[in-house]
Structure 1
Amino acid sequence: VDIITYASVYGLDDQVFRNLSNPNITHDVRAAIINQLGFSVEPSQRANQYLEYIARSRSQQPSTITLEMLTAAEALALGYLLAMDDPTLESAVAVANRSRSSSSLGQVQRANALLLLDAAVVKDPEDFSIAFIRSLVRAQQSLRAGIGNWCAVYQNVFSVLKDFPRQRNMRPEAIDMVNDYIRGYRNYCNSRSISR
């Protein structure tokens, strides 16, 4: 898809922001755009930049944007960008604003990746791509919590695959690639904790 290639060549700019917000672009393509941008080794500001774009497009300040105002597409993109910005999942959107009092930050600026992805799921609960991305971010959190939580890495993703057996709006090859990796974490589960 040309818009995915564009993101890999040019990085994050207003065209990519427009694509992330575009309701005519499917959520799997939205996730693929963010995948092309990749993980940040050091916490970065891509989610904050995207929030600034969202605010500008509404003639608002970032601090006035609420979770309720976001579309499912925007909540997904913000949450996934934030997870890719900071793999520790400890940051809020407005990491750059740490010097400001947290009371002056808006609701979305204080949100973490999982809160944003939870909001996306609430806004579009029947969408496999949103639920799948949220499960991957939850799996990332479980992975970082240590070996005692690695069964949850498998269970987070497996539960979404089980809940959406047919209605998957994501390329099968993409799902299979993730599945091949995640399946290795099944070994950390005892047989009673896995539904067959």
Structure 2
Amino acid sequence: MKKHPFILLFALTAMLFALIPLPSARADSPVTSTNFYVAYKDESIVQKALQAGGMTAELATYLADESSPLALRAAIINAIGWDTEPTQRAEAYAQQAYGKSLAAIKPSELRGDERFVIGYLLAMDDYLDTREAEQWLEDARRQLPDSFTAALIHAIVQAQEEMMKDAGWPQVWKTVADVAFDPDLKMDMKPEAARIIIDYMVSYSDKKVINPFAEESRLTLRIGDRDFKLNGETFEIDPGYGTAPALINGSAYLPVRFLTEAVGGDIRWEATTHTVRIDTAHVSMKLTIGEKTAVVNGKEQQLLGAPYISNGRTMLPFRFLGETLGFDVSWDAATREIGLTLGSQSHK
């Protein structure tokens, strides 16, 4: 049977593409898409990592040096990058830094910063299987409990594993948000690097959330208006519910869920007791509908007005809610506008 010219052309085109090497595919994931090394490009050692694209003796020496800043070591690993196929950079690092294979290294004999370096290298070696890397980083985090860098990189790798297991994208964001909004961590990373990471990670949330490392995040709301503005851009407060700020007996109220989720928190409703529980990285609250006493981080606190239910959502005095969640708040009686401002996240 004579073949149609189009079929022959198609076959030849397919053969041609099979012979041409295509550029590496770009992964879209917490480990591979958080290119925070950009914030450290003014460092010569990061430039060398970019140029090398792999492990060198100079990089290994710097990474193993206890005096090297942890965040800068993280930036070097981030700059070395990843590949579509598993690499052996952690193994090369072990050979050059310790003179033995990675398998021969006993984690118990290493400092927390050393475990961190190996863990992050392993994650970049094979971003599709980060179980071993996650364990190294978890151990490092326990030994470096105050380090924001150790906590955030561990959270990114945790989030990677959760994404691979279909844990749900909101949980991926929540894992990182628990670190991003934790004021008890020592800020040992450039805020610009943290902003780059969180700018990407907020894409995993199904809510409108805030990057705590933005220079400033300002929310404005008006009584009776179902929309709010975040840095001038308009969004609906509670899609599907139609909830809006309200003025009750001279006090302005806000829906609790909207603001709690904006800072990466969780909210749970207990129907039998009419109790609302709020948990964020730094705050735990318990509120009961109709009662003016709240429990904040284990201590009782009096409210100006009692929580109530509107359109299936819990409403709470805006000043108490905003300040407890870390916002500076304002009220303009003339325009009936509520302002909530979250400055660049403050860590110890």
TM range (shorter): 0.7 to 0.9
Q: Tell me, which stretches of 5 or more residues in structure 1 are unaligned?
A: 92-111
Counterpart-to-counterpart distance in 1, 2:104 and 2:49: 28
Q: Greater CA radius of gyration, 1 or 2?
A: 2
Closer/same/farther in 2, CA of residues 164 and 47 from structure 1, 3 Å limit? farther
Counterpart-to-counterpart distance in 2, 1:55 and 1:158: 35
Closer/same/farther in 2, CA of residues 166 and 44 from structure 1, 3 Å limit? closer
Closer/same/farther in 2, CA of residues 156 and 9 from structure 1, 3 Å limit? same
Q: Tell me, which stretches of 5 or more residues in structure 2 are unaligned?
A: 1-42, 208-260, 269-278, 281-324, 326-348
The percent of aligned pairs where both chains have the same amino acid is 29
Counterpart-to-counterpart distance in 1, 2:117 and 2:159: 18
So what's the TM-score if we normalise by structure 1?
A: 0.79
**Which structure would you say has the larger RCO, counting Cα contacts within 8 Å and 6 or more residues apart?**
1
Counterpart-to-counterpart distance in 2, 1:137 and 1:158: 13
Matches within 5 A, 1:111-150: 112-146=132-166, 148-150=167-169
The answer to whether residue 177 in structure 2 is matched with residue 158 in structure 1 is yes
Partner of 2:114: 74
* 1:20 and 1:73 in contact (8 A); partners too: no
So what's the TM-score if we normalise by structure 2?
A: 0.46
Larger mean Cα displacement after TM superposition, 82-91 or 33-42: 82-91
Counterpart-to-counterpart distance in 2, 1:174 and 1:151: 22
Matches within 5 A, 1:165-176: 167-176=186-195
Counterpart-to-counterpart distance in 2, 1:64 and 1:184: 40
Amino acid paired to 1:69: E
Q: Report how many aligned residue pairs link the two structures.
A: 172
Partner of 2:71: 28
Counterpart-to-counterpart distance in 2, 1:18 and 1:168: 25
Deviations 1:18-60 (A, max 9, x none): 011111111110010011111121001111111223431xxx5
- 1:180 alignment partner, one of 199, 219, 224: 199
Closer/same/farther in 2, CA of residues 61 and 184 from structure 1, 3 Å limit? closer
> Helix, strand or coil for the counterpart of 1:136?
helix
* 2:94 and 2:101 in contact (8 A); partners too: no
> Helix, strand or coil for the counterpart of 2:172?
helix
Structure 1 residue 183 displacement after superposition: 1.5
Structure 1 residue 66 displacement after superposition: 0.9
> Helix, strand or coil for the counterpart of 1:163?
coil
* 2:176 and 2:201 in contact (8 A); partners too: yes
* 1:128 and 1:164 in contact (8 A); partners too: no
Counterpart-to-counterpart distance in 1, 2:139 and 2:185: 23
* 2:146 and 2:185 in contact (8 A); partners too: no
> In proportion to residue count, which structure has more strand?
2
